[in-house]
Chain A
Amino acid sequence: MNVAIVNGRIVDPASAHDAQGGLYIANGRIAGIGRAPEGFRADRTLEARGAVVAPGLVDLCARLREPGSEGALKVEMRAALAGGVTGVVCPPDTDPPLDEPGLVRMLRQRSREAAGARTYPLGALTVQLKGEVLAEIQTLAETGCVAFMQTRSLPHDNGSLLQAMRYARTFNLPLWLRPVEDTLAGSGVAAAGPVAGRLGLPSIPVVAETVALHTIFELQRATGARVHVCRLSSAAGVELVRRAKAEGLPVTADVAIHHVHLIDVDIGYFDPNFRLDPPLRSQRDREAIVAGLADGTIDAICSDHAPLSLEEKLLPFGEAEPGATALETLLPLTLKWATENRIALPAALAKVTSRAAEILGEDTGRLALGAKADVVVFDPEAHWRVTPENLRSAGKCTPYAGYELQGRARFTLVGGDVRHEAE
Chain B
Amino acid sequence: MASNPQLNRHGELHHLLSIDGLPRPVVERILTTADSFINIAEREVKNVPLLRGKSVFNLFFENSTRTRTTFEIAARRLSADVFNLDITRSSTAKGESLLDTIDNLTAMQADMFVVRHATSGAPYLIARHASESAPHVHVINAGDGRHAHPTQGLLDMYTIRHYKKDFSNLTVAIVGDILHSRVARSDIHALTTLGVPDVRAVGPLTLLPAGLEQMGVRVFTKLDEGIRGADVIIMLRLQNERMRGALLPSAQEYFAHYGLTPERLAHAKPGAIVMHPGPMNRGVEIDSRVADGSAAVILPQVTFGIAVRMAVMSIVASSARMQ
Decide yes or no: A316 and B211 within 8 Å by CB, A199-B147, A200-B146 being known contacts: no
- The answer to the question of B196 belonging to the interface, with a C-beta cut-off of 8 Å to chain A, is no
Contact (Cβ within 8 A) A269 B120: no
Contact, CB under 8 Å: B215 / A270: no
Check if B2 sits within 8 Å of A268, measured CB to CB: yes
Asked if A200 and B211 sit within 8 Å, CB to CB, the answer is no
Question: Which residues of A lie under 8 Å from residue B121 when comparing CB positions?
Answer: 199, 201, 269-270, 316-318
User: In B148-193, which residues have CB < 8 Å from any A CB?
Assistant: 148, 182, 185
Q: Indicate with 1 or 0, residue by residue over B92-131, a CB within 8 angstroms of chain A CB atoms.
A: 0000011100000000000000000101111011001000
Please state if B2 and A194 are interface contacts (CB–CB under 8 Å). Answer: no
The complex places the Cα of A22 from the Cα of B20 at a distance, in Å, of 58
Per-position contact with B for A180-224: 1 when CB-CB < 8 Å, else 0? Answer: 000000000000111111111111000000000000000000000
Contact A316 B98 (CB under 8 A): yes
Chain A nearest CB, measured from B260 CB (Å): 24
Which chain A residues in 218-275 approach chain B with CB under 8 Å?
A: 265-266, 268-272
Q: Which of A295-328 contact B (CB under 8 A)?
A: 311, 314-319
* Contact status of A271 and B2, CB under 8 A, knowing A198-B185, A199-B121: yes
- B214, A318: Cβ atoms under 8 Å? no
How far, in angstroms, from A316 to B116 measured CA to CA in the complex?
A: 13
Closest to B182 in A: A200
For the complex formed, measure the closest distance between the CB of A401 and the CB atoms of chain B, giving whole angstroms.
Answer: 11
B45 at the interface (CB under 8 A from A): no
Q: Which residue of A lies closest to B189 (CB)?
A: A198
Among A318-356, those with CB < 8 Å from B are 318-319
- Give A194 to B99 CA distance when docked, in angstroms: 29
Least CB distance from A58 to B in Å reads 34
Per the CB 8 Å criterion, the residue count for chain A at the interface is 26
Residues of B within 8 A of A193 (CB): 210-211
Cα A318 to Cα B146 in complex, Å, equals 11
A198–B121 CA distance with the chains assembled, in angstroms: 11
Q: List residues of chain A with CB within 8 A of the CB of B197.
A: none
Smallest CB separation, B22 vs chain A (Å): 13
Are A269 and B122 closer than 8 Å at their CB atoms? no
Chain B residue, CB-CB nearest to A268: B1
- Does the CB pair A318–B215 fall under 8 Å? no
B191–chain A nearest beta-carbon distance, Å: 14
A311 partner residues in chain B, CB cutoff 8 A: 97
B212 within 8 A of partner (CB): yes
Interface residues of B in 55-99 (CB under 8 A from A): 97-99
Q: Which of A268, A315, A317 contacts B98, CB < 8 Å?
A: A315
Given A265-B1, A318-B145, A201:B120 Cβ within 8 A: yes
Known A195-B211, A272-B125: A200·B120 in contact at CB below 8 Å: yes
Q: What residues of chain A lie closer than 8 Å to B5, measured between beta carbons?
A: 269
Q: Complex: how many Å from CA A197 to CA B209?
A: 6
| Contact status A192-B145, CB under 8 Å | no
Cβ-defined contact, B117 with A194, below 8 A: no
Inter-chain CA distance A203–B99, complex, in Å, is 25
The docked-state distance in angstroms from the alpha carbon of A319 to that of B212 is 25
Nearest residue (CB) in B for A320 is B125
Taking the closest CB of chain A, its distance from the CB of B195, in whole angstroms, is: 19
In the bound complex, what is the Cα–Cα distance between A311 and B2 (angstroms)? 22
- State whether B122 touches A316 (Cβ < 8 A): yes
Residue contact A197 to B148, C-beta cutoff 8 Å: no
- List A84-133 residues whose CB lies under 8 Å from chain B: none
Q: Is the CB of A203 within 8 A of B210?
A: yes
A319 to B97, CA, bound (A): 12
Also in contact, A270 and B125, with CB within 8 A (given A201-B120, A314-B99, A316-B117):
yes
Tell me, in angstroms, the Cα distance from A409 to B306 when the chains sit together. Answer: 60
* Known A200-B120, A202-B146: A316·B125 in contact at CB below 8 Å: yes
Distance of A193 Cα from B99 Cα, bound (Å): 30
Contact B2 A197 (CB under 8 A): no
Residues of B within 8 A of A195 (CB): 211
Q: Shortest CB–CB separation between residue B291 and chain A, in angstroms?
A: 27
B residues near A203, Cβ cutoff 8 Å: 209-210
Minimum CB–CB distance from B263 to chain A (whole Å) comes to 32
> Does the CB pair B210–A194 fall under 8 Å?
yes
Assess whether A194 is in contact with B215, with CB atoms less than 8 Å apart.
yes
Give the CA-CA distance A314 to B122 in the complex, in Å.
10
Per the bound structure, the CA–CA distance linking A111 and B320 in Å amounts to 54
* CB atoms of B20 and A198 under 8 A apart: yes
CA distance A203 to B145 in the complex (A): 13
Q: Closest residue of chain A to B5, judged by CB?
A: A269
A319 to B210, CA, bound (A): 22
In angstroms, Cα B122 to Cα A197, docked, is 16
Pick the most buried of A197, A198, A200: most chain B CB atoms within 10 A of its CB. Answer: A200
Partner of B210, one of A192, A268, A314: A192
B169 to chain A, nearest CB (A): 26
A235 shortest CB reach to chain B, Å: 15
The one of A197, A202, A314, A319 that contacts B211, using a Cβ cutoff of 8 Å: A197
Contact indicator B215/A198 (Cβ below 8 Å): yes
Cβ A270 vs Cβ B120 within 8 A: yes
Chain A residue contacts of B146, Cβ below 8 A:
200-202
A201 closest partner in B (C-beta): B120
A203 vs B185: C-alpha distance when bound (angstroms): 16
B209: chain A residues at CB < 8 Å are 196-197, 200, 203
Q: By the criterion CB–CB under 8 Å, are B215 and A197 in contact?
A: yes
Q: A193-B211, A198-B215 are in contact. Are A317 and B119 (CB under 8 A)?
A: yes
Contact of B214 among A194, A271, A272, A316 (CB under 8 A): A194
Min CB–CB distance B30 → chain A (angstroms): 20
A200 touches B2 (CB 8 A): no
Which residue of B has the minimal Cβ distance to A186? B246
Minimum distance in angstroms from A89 CB to a CB of chain B: 32
Question: Of all chain A residues, which has the CB nearest B147?
Answer: A200
The residues of B that contact A317 with a CB separation of less than 8 Å are 119-121, 125
Q: Could you tell me which residues of chain A, from 54 to 96, have a CB within 8 Å of some CB in chain B? A: none
Give 23 pairs: A residue, B residue, CB < 8 Å, sorted on A: A194-B215, A195-B211, A196-B209, A196-B211, A197-B209, A197-B211, A197-B212, A197-B215, A198-B185, A198-B211, A200-B182, A201-B146, A266-B1, A268-B2, A269-B1, A269-B2, A269-B5, A316-B117, A316-B121, A316-B122, A317-B120, A317-B125, A318-B121
Could you list 17 further interchain pairs (A-B, Cβ under 8 angstroms) beyond the known A268-B1, A272-B125?
Answer: A192-B210, A194-B211, A194-B215, A195-B211, A196-B211, A197-B214, A197-B215, A199-B147, A200-B148, A201-B120, A266-B1, A269-B5, A269-B121, A269-B124, A311-B97, A316-B98, A319-B119
Interface pairs A-B: 9 shortest CB-CB: A194-B211, A270-B121, A200-B146, A197-B211, A200-B147, A316-B122, A197-B209, A316-B119, A194-B214
What is B's interface to A at a CB cutoff of 8 Å? Answer: 1-2, 4-5, 17, 20, 97-99, 117, 119-122, 124-125, 128, 144-148, 182, 185, 209-212, 214-215
